[in-house]
Amino acid sequence: MKFARLGVNIDHVATLRQQRGEYYPEVMRAAEVALATGAHQVTIHLREDRRHIQDHDVPVVHDMCKKMGLPLNLEIGCSDEIIKIAIKEKPEWVCLVPEKREERTTEGGLDVIDPNNYQRVKKACEDIKAGSPSTKISLFVEADEVVLKKCLSLKADAVEIHTGEYARDFLDKKDVTAHLVKFNLGESIIKEAGWGYHAGHGLTFDSLETLLQETQFEEYNIGHWIIAESVFIGLGHVVKEMLTLINKYPLKG
């Protein structure tokens, strides 16, 4: 049987480190613990404002992933500076995300409908594929039919659906049926094209289980909740608990 993959985002280990400007807690150590415990990949986001992950973290974390024989998923915006770093590092995955300096966290998916922004994303995909042919690309987008069909015209390999609004409504105990319907429609569009169908943002243990029951997504990238919960019971323990949950729900087919 096939089960969904878990990517552990360790950005907020770096957030804690940057608060004091110390060398600890070490991001590399977080990557090692997550992967040794069974995570399928590590995700880090190198933002233009460098608010958490720093340039020097990228090769160190990637080296740990290589040592463990597992992929690095590097989230980046579409800036030329950051794309050059990604091309130099050649991670197994790059996830292209929108960025605004004033936001507290990523607030939504990429805008691929606006012609100017579409060209930025298109150029980013083309530059990455030219400079690092082995790197796969995912596009962080909303579960919108028009958006997803537009994504398929780009040189990418997967979409990662922004689950932030779903996760917030779940926490607020609102009806999430409309979100699930959109996710289901997105699955049919993306999988018919042979692309990967991933999800991430704002997910907790409980809101993840509802999605697992739907068996739509092949991969989940989860960070803030895992790091927050690990303050109380330890990173390895949280990863184990989440993997145990994931392995309750085989994917279709």
Catalytic annotation on 45? yes
Tokens of 116: 């100017």
Catalytic entry in 12, 45, 62, 198:
45
Catalytic annotation on 192? no
Q: Are strands 5-9 and 93-96 parallel, antiparallel or unpaired?
A: unpaired
Q: Are strands 72-76 and 136-141 parallel, antiparallel or unpaired?
A: unpaired
Catalytic annotation on 201? yes
Tokens of 138: 């995912």
Query: In terms of Cα–Cα distance, which of 163, 239, 169 is closest to 203?
Result: 163
| Rounded distance between C-alpha atoms, residue 65 and residue 58, angstroms | 11
Site of tokens 């184990």:
240
Catalytic entry in 32, 75, 160, 187:
75
Query: Taking every pair of C-alpha atoms in the chain, what is the biggest distance, in angstroms?
Result: 48
DSSP 149-178: HHHTTSS-SEEEEE-HHHHHHHHTT---HH
Catalytic entry in 201, 218, 219, 229:
201
Measured CA to CA in angstroms, residue 101 lies from 44, 105, 115 at distances of 17, 9, 22
| Rounded distance between C-alpha atoms, residue 53 and residue 74, angstroms | 11
β-pair partners for 141: 161
Residue 234's contacts (CB-CB under 8 Å, 6 or more residues apart) are: none
User: Which amino acid is it at 27?
Assistant: V
Question: What amino acid positions are annotated as catalytic residues?
Answer: 45, 75, 201
